[in-house]
Structure 1
Amino acid sequence: MLKLLRYITGILLFVGCTSIPKERSLPLEQVPPVQAGFSEQRLALADSLINRYMRDRQLPGGVFLVARHGKIVYYKSFGYRSLNFWEEYQNDDIFRIASMTKAVTTVGIMQLYEQGKLGLDDPVHRYILPFKSIGVLDTFNPADSSFTTVAPKTPITIRHLLTHTSGIVYGDFESNEIRAIYQKLDLLGVGLSHSSWTTEQFIDKLAQVPLAFHPGDRYNYGLNVDVLGRVIEVVSGLSLRDYFQQHLFDPLGMVDTHFYLPEEKHSRLVPVYAQTDDGTVMKQDDGLVQLIDYPKRKDRGHYAGGGGLSSTAMDYARFIQALVNDGEYNGHRILGRKTIELMTADQFVALNKKGAGISQIPGSTFCLGFGLITDEANGLNSKSPGTYEWGGYFSTKFFIDPEEDLIFVGMTQINPFKHGEFYDRLTAVIYGAIED
């Protein structure tokens, strides 16, 4: 009997230690919701919610995708791409994902990290020399936007850039002397594309702007990940476009994700809408349309690692499914499991204690490249601790919940979006439909 127990124990240990292909690492496929632990009836409440927002002209429509255990349980398009209701949204429509580009660039950096090609605490000037002489703003003359600087207490590191603690900001979102300096150097409105600069030219120009604060002092959302895009170029020897294509898009089958769309795909790029003061949807004016149609520009070598990509809901789902799969999708590995554990660990424990993190809400924090929910936020909403997420300027959204093995992609195009509670309510519906 003892020998039998030992034999059974040995078999169990062998099975537990043997690498068995996970069903969820196969290509995403659509199944009835019940096959992934959802109530079909309760998940259909998402239709009602989306339709209500469209009926009240608070949302133009869009494409929304939910997958669990590698199975798509919800993948639908709603609404119209035109206010005269003649052209419906399609599942394969292409959206400007803006800051959802940051997650892709972050993964590119972490690939180079796990290959030993860079360190998280390396000074960025090791890769981009102009940052060696960057200073922190000291004095400012409003008459001509001239300024003086002091030396930073510590150099900007790769980790600072990944966590938006470098002192580099978005000049467009500032209302003080920093914005004036960005304007003087022609650096406003460059977070998505540029008509003539290459990535290298843009980042070298950015290195001329003083830091808003000493690196590591606090969180402030900025052009940090654009700098990381240039780091990828320097370390890999490839343009950011080619690096993404070879190391992420091709392996994951992301056939519709681009910095600049091929001409044959221009018609699939959806329009961007705005909202009036009362929150109703309206089409953007023609002047702004020229600005936001950057994905149709000619490719001149400027690849905004912090905001330049356009994509489809399915393409982006493939990308984040690889992350919830511990780095693997359809037989292709883009990151190691331990690297993802590092990437999704809270980086703001110390900053949060002194109120200098991303949020004053306990448990709403930041990891490397993503917003993060920790145990302290349990009960804030339905998402599990460990969920990491981000969104884009034109109101796209994604989240990854490893505990539930769940991903979500929401694609719409509206800015400003005066009904940000929409995504909170849609998330509540999704989690409320989980039955197992």
Structure 2
Amino acid sequence: MLKLITFILSILFLSACTHPKESSLNPNHINPTEAGFSEQRLAKADSLIERYMSEHWLPGGVFLVARHGTIAYYKSFGFHSLNFWQQYQKDDIFRIASMTKAVTSVAIMQLYEQGKLGLDDPLKKYLPAFAQTEVLDQLNPVDSSFTTVPPQRPISIRHLLTHTSGLVYSNFERGDIRAAYQKLDLLGVGLSHQSWTTNQFIDQLAKAPLAFHPGERYNYGLNMDVLGRVIEVVSGLSLRDYFQQHIFDPLKMVDTHFYLPKEKQERLVPVYAQTDQGTIMKQDDDLSPGIDYPKWKDRGHYAGGGGLSSTAMDYARFIQALLNGGELNGHRILGRKTIELMTADQFVMLNRKGAGISSIPGNTFSLGFGLITQEANGLNSKSPGTYEWGGYFSTKFFIDPKEELIFVGMTQINPFIHGEFYERLTAVIYGAIDD
């Protein structure tokens, strides 16, 4: 009898190991202890967030931590207005801006693993307008006309995924390249546009000169917007419809949109700014024209580099699927090996030349994400292999595969003078791990 009981227990143990608990992110099940955290130490996150709010450095927001597929922390803080009449809610909608890039990267990798495109394919194969795109040579300061030279190599899909194409965000640039973009009406683009469709915008961008030869170095730019148009051409769907059918619907991301339906527009939170003294103030259209772009009419412009708005829970479902190896609740959006490729260091050679994303060893870049490798172990609490990014309005996410940990931070403030907030919150989160 003892042998039989031992045998049964062994089978049950092996079954549990073979079929681990599903990482499904149930918002109604929040259990720090089950997720391997000290509830008391994790509660220090409340104190940190409330201190930044009391100093008028942070308006509030929604913050979510999950580990081993269990939500450990999911809270909203603060108010939508300075007169404290409307509290933030967990289902508030935030402009996630450049966190859109991760979604576009996943869509490209879906097409890659289906054999519909190659990472080193030339861009002009899909968007012929870029066959004429060349590198800036000289600019005439009188009228901003410019001359170009042929690129040493064509722009590839991989160049776009790693921001090494030579395309830039002109608003963040100075000098000749900014003037050239301005001449082509390409300042202030990347979130939406009230007249151009995606196709019209990308065709106009193809007329702009490259800041450097493709593959030469990293420079953050409009690369994902171009990849959004590639997705449209390859799939035959608009970027909006592709995302909806192949990512949002399978993952039940019900509140993620380029343009918000009328019934959801009241849930879009305002954007705040900071003075030099740290006072938070609401940005209105006079201070930041176009800030309400998620409420604009859908004219067919879908910015793959920055156009989405979402909730903390929706985005958590997306990154949990990536942590799970591409699957959530039985719905697969990517293969495990594809995610391994997508999260591998792409800058080994560029880093050696000092042309990567950072001069800090191990602080590098993958296909669409910032990446921490073993060389950066000890830079902060995050494990080697962590991949992450953020958004222009101070949203943030990271995925730590070693700890099976995800984080989503949603607030809306720009500029954010006290941007160290997320590093300090990260330290609190990791310090609370208790298993």
Q: Which amino acid aligns with 1:111?
A: Q
The answer to whether the 8 A contact 2:398-2:407 is kept is yes
Residue 344 (structure 1) aligns with: 343
Q: Which amino acid aligns with 1:337?
A: R
State percent identity of aligned pairs. Answer: 79
The answer to whether the 8 A contact 2:225-2:304 is kept is yes
Q: Distance in 2 between matches of 1:251 and 1:120?
A: 25
Q: TM-score, with normalisation over the residues of structure 2?
A: 0.96
Alignment of 1:320-399 (within 5 A): 320-399=319-398
Structure 1: gaps of 5 or more residues: none
Residue 42 (structure 2) aligns with: 43
Residue 182 (structure 1) aligns with: 181
Q: Distance in 2 between matches of 1:279 and 1:392?
A: 20
Q: Distance in 1 between matches of 2:396 and 2:25?
A: 24
Q: Distance in 2 between matches of 1:47 and 1:26?
A: 21
* TM-aligned CA distance change 1:161 to 1:425, over 3 Å: same
Q: Distance in 2 between matches of 1:180 and 1:372?
A: 32
Residue 293 (structure 1) aligns with: 292
Alignment of 1:301-312 (within 5 A): 301-312=300-311
Residue 240 (structure 2) aligns with: 241
The answer to whether the 8 A contact 2:35-2:68 is kept is yes
Q: Which amino acid aligns with 2:251?
A: L
Q: Distance in 1 between matches of 2:371 and 2:64?
A: 21
Residue 165 (structure 1) aligns with: 164
Structure 2: gaps of 5 or more residues: none
Question: Displacement, 1:31?
Answer: 2.6
Residue 80 (structure 1) aligns with: 79
The answer to whether the 8 A contact 1:27-1:329 is kept is no
Q: Distance in 2 between matches of 1:289 and 1:125?
A: 35
2:188 partner SS: coil
Alignment of 1:91-170 (within 5 A): 91-170=90-169
Residue 410 (structure 1) aligns with: 409
The answer to whether the 8 A contact 1:29-1:71 is kept is no
The answer to whether the 8 A contact 2:25-2:70 is kept is no
Alignment of 1:187-202 (within 5 A): 187-202=186-201
Question: Displacement, 1:29?
Answer: 5.0
2:34 partner SS: helix
**Does residue 267 of structure 2 align to residue 268 of structure 1?**
yes
Q: TM-score, with normalisation over the residues of structure 1?
A: 0.95
The answer to whether the 8 A contact 2:64-2:407 is kept is yes
Residue 256 (structure 1) aligns with: 255
Q: Distance in 2 between matches of 1:242 and 1:136?
A: 34
Question: Displacement, 1:181?
Answer: 1.2
The answer to whether the 8 A contact 1:33-1:73 is kept is yes
How large is the Cα RMSD of the aligned pairs?
1.8
Q: Which amino acid aligns with 1:406?
A: L
1:315 partner SS: helix
Question: Displacement, 1:22?
Answer: 4.5
The answer to whether the 8 A contact 1:272-1:414 is kept is yes
Question: Displacement, 1:314?
Answer: 0.3
The answer to whether the 8 A contact 1:29-1:70 is kept is no
Residue 284 (structure 1) aligns with: 283
Question: Displacement, 1:30?
Answer: 2.6
Q: Which amino acid aligns with 2:260?
A: L
Residue 30 (structure 2) aligns with: 31
Question: Displacement, 1:289?
Answer: 5.0
| Superimposed CA distance per residue, residues 28-72 of structure 1 (whole angstroms, 9 cap, x where no aligned partner) | 653321011100000000000000000000000000000001111
Q: Distance in 2 between matches of 1:344 and 1:285?
A: 38
